[in-house]
Chains A and B, each alone.
Chain A
Amino acid sequence: MAEHAPAHAADSHGHGHTSYVKIWAILVVLLIVSIIGPEFGIRVVTLITAFGIAIVKAYMVAKHFMHLGIERKWVSYILLVMLAFMLVFFAGVAPDVLEHDGQNWIKLYEEPAVGAGHATTTH
């Protein structure tokens, strides 16, 4: 494995077999919490357990399985810049989508009625 960069010698950084399984076990526990949490039907709890935990899970996969914690720092920076692009896109477009009218325009599109799927049922 001479081609490998030294920074990725997994064992030398304490990422042994056991620790990977441990990370996986934590991810499974978080998955269970993210399923149970929204069952309470409380909006804040749903947001935290479903989406908050999704961010934690993604962070753990990136850090421990993709080894971003021991990868060159600028790789993380490249990925963060891409996420920043996403936020710029969101900030630029969201007002048009979320607002139903503006100074010089009115949104004419109307969402089909809920349960529209059933309307096309052939059974």
Chain B
Amino acid sequence: MAATFQSSLYTSRRRRNRISMGLAYAATAFGLSWLVLILAVLLWEGFSGLSLSVFTEMTPPPGSAGGLLNPIAGSLIMTVIAVLIGTPLGILAGTYMAEYGRYDRLTTVVRFINDILLSAPSIVVGLFVYEVMVAQMGHFSGWAGAVALAVIVVPVVVRTTEDMLILVPDTLREAAASIGLPRSNMIIKVAYRAARAGMVTGVLLAVARISGETAPLLFTALNNQFWSLNLNAPVASLPVVIFQFALSPYSDWQKLAWTGALIITLAVLALSIIARTLTAQRKTS
């Protein structure tokens, strides 16, 4: 009697274990299958529309052939400006948090707020820049788009800079201090060098993040059907053009939207893989 009871308990525990572990395998297969499905469709649809003219021609009116040159250029320019604004600001703020004020009240508050900005809805950033720049200047502009993207860059760079500087061993700082090096020189010449790979990774991740951002550009940079590098006027960007073209009823436009989506995804994946290898090298060395 007792033996059968024990063995039935044993089998039921084993059964339950087998079921739940089966679920774990199934869940992983489920999660990965989405990645495969999305990438497969994206590659299929994107490559069928990919040609040289995508990179050499302007966005077409519906019904005729064209390319994505102006949105690609617009995206590149706004991304570069956003990184140029956001990176120094983020690195300086991260430096304060890791070096000068590591145990400050201010650092704790900034870290908390920065983490919230890191996951704040990007459309709210768009509204913010609309209020601050577009409404004041009276027109949509590429500058506003770049600033909106910079607001998204800052928290990413702050976070990685702080994390990477904290990893720098204190003995390096003490060695620098012991020869009379002022703190600022120590930070620039010792700490930044030791943390360089990680900080570059942070910037790359920030670029990856903003290169697909659509919501903050919708009502800051708006869109532009023509070739325009004037940052005081609306500037086309790849994500916004994808949004507009995908929701249009024209099949040529939808085709271009898929191609644009493929370009963005490949760029983002390449950036995150480069970033990953940079940090991997750091860990092994």
Please indicate whether A and B come from the same complex rather than being unrelated chains: no
Interface residues of chain A, those whose CB is within 8 Å of chain B, are: none
Q: Point out residues on B near A: beta carbons under 8 Å.
A: none
